[in-house]
Amino acid sequence: MSGSAPPREGPRWTAWPRVLLTEAVHGVPLLVGILVVAVSLLVTAPQRGFPPVWSNTLYYGTFVVVFVAPLVAGGAAVLSQQRLRRGWLEWAASTPRGARSVLTTGTAAVILWGVLALLAGFCTVLLSRPPGGAPTPAGLLLPLTATTMVVAAGLLGGWLGSLTTNPLLGPALALATFGVPNLAFYLRVDNAERAWALWLEPFPLDFSYTAVTEPNAPRWVVVLTGLLAAAVVLALVLRGRDRTAIVLGVGLLGLTVIATTQVDGSEVVRYQAAPTDPVCGTSADIAVCVWPSEQADLPVLVDAVDQVHDAAVPVLAQVPTTFVQPGLDLTTVPASAVPPGLVELFAPYDATTAAGAAISAVLPPPPCENDDTAIAEYSRVGSLVALRAGYGDATEDPDLATTIGLPDGAQRQWVTQRLDAAARACA
């Protein structure tokens, strides 16, 4: 017996990747890994119907985080509970690395699978619809946020699992992680004034900006990257101490809150990339131009837009005759007196979806986006056009039900009143 600590030969950190790998291919982490990768592939494989630009590739590739993060949270909780029950914490507590080491390594293995699942989803989208051009630095916000969410979810689960052995924790945490953002999303959609709903939405369903748009938030990329780097540096400084996981977890949760509450829709701009060869389809009255990748679905889209166009012309002052998907070079599409309507169309390409996109495209731009009264009045115009085109239901709006039965001239007058009311509300 030496009576002193064994000499430390070589770098201490080299053993950790191997331990992490061992953890990842056994037990709960492996089961979670199989599940999240399968879910990721199932969710991303059918994605289609969007212009293959980097913003969309990144969006659809990382959207799976809304499914992956809950599974990572639940899996990490179950693994920590298992270790608590099986005496691993007591075992590790008498070693130099301490009790938390078996929790953090196990949690890291689960998180690793979560990040791999994101990568799998991203690669699936990338390979099935190779994007043109190059991603912008601002586009990195999506994968950065998604990765942060997975790490934060894993740390949260791992930490909660170390506090209780209640078998309901894992499933409850997974459900809550999935359900709370859904609830917050619908609260927020129903009433834009419910800003507090944002705080319930750690995993935003729409990432606060939609597909076919590019985040114009480079400053947030800088902020998030900086905070992430700071958290990592702090974790390295505190490496091996009990506070590491707590500091890192709190830091990443803070990042998530910032990312989801501060990067909002007002930060986005239209993607400006221009393809060289849009594909157009025409009817007697209209032309629809889409990305070459959407050519197969063009007939359905032309029929739907034509139907909506015919329904809108008698009641709207100006209706576009040319409709384009966002991002097309407008100099290459048929000229029209009225500015082209933007058709934002996502899979699936059925008639109803296409009609919904067409209705949005025929309406004039909304006078503003932050007034409930204006939004309501504007929406009623869209509802009238939908009814005229054979879609929708007027039973919930008696005024609309009456209006749809009036002659075209009276309906046109009603539409003008609604749009004027919306403009006044915005003013």
Interaction between residue 331 and other proteins (CB under 8 A): no
Interaction between residue 365 and other proteins (CB under 8 A): no
Tell me how far CA of residue 285 lies from CA of 85, 207, 276, 355, 364, in angstroms. 71, 37, 25, 16, 18
Span near other proteins by CB under 8 A; candidates 56-64, 96-104, 170-178, 419-427: 96-104
Q: How far apart are the C-alpha atoms of 100 and 169, rounded to whole Å?
A: 19
Among 11, 365, 398, 405, binds other proteins (CB under 8 A): 11
Q: How far apart are the C-alpha atoms of 383 and 393, rounded to whole Å?
A: 8
Query: Residue 91 or 199: which CB sits closer to other proteins?
Result: 91
Q: How far is the CB of 2 from other proteins (least distance, A)?
A: 7
Interaction between residue 237 and other proteins (CB under 8 A): no
Tell me how far CA of residue 136 lies from CA of 55, 91, 132, 133, 142, in angstroms. 8, 48, 12, 9, 11
Binding-residue total with other proteins (CB under 8 A): 35
Q: How far is the CB of 253 from other proteins (least distance, A)?
A: 28
Span near other proteins by CB under 8 A; candidates 92-100, 192-200, 278-286, 290-298: 92-100
Query: Residue 96 or 398: which CB sits closer to other proteins?
Result: 96
Q: Which two tokens stand for residue 199?
A: 């705080």
Interaction between residue 93 and other proteins (CB under 8 A): yes
Q: How far apart are the C-alpha atoms of 272 and 328, rounded to whole Å?
A: 8
Q: How many other CB atoms are there within 10 angstroms of residue 344's CB atom?
A: 16
Q: How far is the CB of 1 from other proteins (least distance, A)?
A: 4
Interaction between residue 14 and other proteins (CB under 8 A): yes
Alpha helices for 211-323 (secondary structure H): 218-237, 243-262, 298-312
For the window 32-71, what string marks contact with other proteins as x by the rule CB under 8 A?
A: ----------------------------------------
- 81-90 — which CB contacts under 8 Å span 24+ positions? 81/161, 81/162, 81/164, 81/165, 81/166, 81/167, 81/169, 81/170, 82/27, 82/28, 83/162, 84/161, 84/162, 84/165, 85/165, 89/162
Query: Residue 5 or 284: which CB sits closer to other proteins?
Result: 5
For the window 289-308, what string marks contact with other proteins as x by the rule CB under 8 A?
A: --------------------
Q: How far apart are the C-alpha atoms of 115 and 102, rounded to whole Å?
A: 20
Interaction between residue 97 and other proteins (CB under 8 A): yes
- Please report which helix (H) or strand (E) contains residue 288, including its range: strand 287-290
Query: Residue 4 or 395: which CB sits closer to other proteins?
Result: 4
Q: How far is the CB of 28 from other proteins (least distance, A)?
A: 9
What residues line the site for other proteins (CB under 8 A)? 1-12, 14-16, 18-19, 22, 26-27, 30, 85-88, 90-97, 101-102
